[in-house]
């Protein structure tokens, strides 16, 4: 039987009700196609919009504000963006949060550089990111709250959600549950081979043996961090881990509002303060290393805010698998090669650089 699940050792070597459309195509302008970025407002309130981007020279730039009336569109960049990632802030009198920090001011602005905002006389506000797909022209359409959802992941079955099921009577093996989770891949470990799902700080393991081999084998081709709905029976509970007899697993397209951040966090990160200190993210698993030696395994989660810092932004949570103790830091900046967190207890920055 062919099983190519990850090994633990191998791993070491919105909430929004608003309508959002993110479109990149050559056909949204009449007449000759024009390069640029356009933002449209399909909500019922005026939106005040700012953007952030990496310039052709490699500098981080923020610009604003454009006042976009309901039903209106405005061109916020007349040239091609030249990057996949566009950052934006949109406020209509309500709350707006995001993981990416840029400099702003109350008056119209164009600011080069995203560091030392206060020292340079600027405010620092949080932006969100959208993937333009490299499309030019590109249009971002905002809904009532200015929220942005990642485009729904596309499955291999012509866009239809992935679906697996087996003969199953709810409650026949234990407590019947249904959870909206993230698929966390399949693993070979000392205690056996299993496929894993993560929801709200709990790991659900479906082991080979109790679960049909063909069902778990089929999961080997599913992407890690895919949002899914899991039905089955919990056969054994632990502190933050439960064993489960699977009934069905169904993909939930667009079911993770933090999908892009989760993707950006994958890989190895080295501390800016101590190069011997690293952590590696694989799915929702974190492996802490020091001097190349594994010192701890943790479970990762992204939450709307840290419990001891409500209203200050989204949190990056690490739950130690041995002690079950969580540690939450505020997400300040996530980029392909750089992370910055804020420790809400001390107020200091914690910075990492991509190690791979």
CA distance 249 to 228: 6
- The pLDDT, as a whole number, for residue 238 is 83
Q: Express each pLDDT in 216-258 by its tens digit.
A: 888 988 999 999 999 999 999 888 899 999 999 999 887 888 8
pLDDT tier at 16, thresholds 50, 70, 90: very low
Task: Please say whether the beta carbons of 183 and 226 come within 8 A.
Answer: yes
**Which is it for the CA torsion 240, 241, 247, 253, positive or negative?**
positive
Query: CB 331: neighbour CB atoms within 10 A?
Result: 26
DSSP 304: S
Q: Please give the pLDDT value at position 28.
A: 38
Q: Report the C-alpha gap between 25 and 326 in whole angstroms.
A: 44
* pLDDT at residue 152, as a whole number: 31
The answer to whether residue 6 scores a pLDDT higher than 90 is no
Q: How far apart are CA 154 and CA 174, in angstroms?
A: 33
Mean per-residue pLDDT of the chain: 81
User: Which strands, in side-by-side order, build the sheet including 85-91?
Assistant: 100-104, 123-131, 85-91, 47-54, 60-68, 109-112
The confidence score (pLDDT) of residue 35 equals 65
| pLDDT attached to residue 324 | 85
Q: What is the CATH number of domain 6-12+155-251?
A: 2.40.50.110
Q: Nearest CA to 219 among 163, 153, 160?
A: 163
Q: Would you list the domain boundaries of the chain?
A: 6-12+155-251, 21-142, 259-354
Six token digits for residue 4: 């190519």
Q: What is the pLDDT of residue 34?
A: 56
CATH class of 259-354: mainly beta
Report helix, strand or coil for 215.
helix
Predicted confidence at residue 139, as pLDDT, reads: 82
pLDDT tens-digit map of 272-287: 999 999 999 999 999 9
At 17, is the pLDDT very low, low, confident or very high (cuts 50, 70, 90)? Answer: very low
* Both structure tokens of 154: 């596309």
Check pLDDT > 50 for residue 15. Answer: no
Question: Is residue 41 within 8 Å of 142, Cβ to Cβ?
Answer: yes
In 3D space, the residue among 58, 62, 53, 64 whose CA is nearest the CA of residue 90 turns out to be 64
């Amino acid at each position: 039987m062919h099983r190519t699940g990850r090994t633990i050792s191998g791993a070491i070597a919105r909430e929004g009700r608003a309508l959002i459309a993110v479109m990149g195509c050559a056909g949204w302008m009449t007449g000759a196609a024009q390069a640029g970025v356009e933002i449209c407002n399909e909500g019922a309130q005026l939106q005040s919009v700012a953007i952030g981007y990496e310039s052709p020279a490699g500098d981080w730039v923020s610009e604003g504000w454009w006042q976009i009336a309901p039903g209106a569109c405005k061109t916020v960049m007349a040239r091609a963006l030249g990057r996949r990632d566009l950052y934006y802030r949109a406020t209509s009198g309500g709350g707006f949060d995001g993981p990416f920090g840029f400099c702003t001011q109350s008056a119209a602005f164009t600011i080069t550089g995203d560091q030392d905002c206060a020292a340079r006389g600027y405010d620092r506000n949080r932006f969100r990111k959208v993937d333009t797909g490299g499309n030019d022209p590109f249009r971002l359409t905002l809904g009532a709250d200015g929220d942005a959802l990642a485009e729904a992941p596309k499955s291999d079955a012509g866009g239809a959600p992935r679906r697996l099921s087996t003969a199953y009577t709810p409650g026949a093996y234990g407590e019947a549950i249904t959870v909206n989770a993230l698929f966390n891949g399949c693993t070979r470990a000392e205690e056996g081979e299993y496929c894993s799902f993560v929801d709200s700080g709990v790991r659900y393991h479906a082991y080979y043996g109790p679960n049909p081999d063909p069902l778990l084998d089929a999961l080997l081709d599913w992407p890690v961090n895919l949002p899914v709905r899991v039905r089955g029976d919990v056969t054994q509970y632990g502190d933050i881990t439960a064993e489960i007899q699977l009934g069905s697993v169904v993909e939930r397209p667009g079911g993770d509002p933090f999908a892009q951040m989760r993707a950006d966090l994958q890989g190895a990160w080295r501390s800016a303060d101590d190069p011997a200190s690293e952590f590696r993210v694989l799915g929702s698993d974190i492996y802490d290393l020091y001097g190349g030696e594994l010192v701890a395994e943790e479970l990762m989660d992204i939450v709307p805010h840290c419990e001891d810092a409500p209203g200050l932004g989204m949190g990056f949570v690490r739950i130690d698998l041995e002690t079950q103790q969580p540690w939450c830091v505020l997400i300040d900046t996530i980029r392909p090669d750089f992370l910055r967190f804020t420790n809400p207890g001390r107020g200091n920055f914690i910075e990492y650089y991509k190690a791979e």
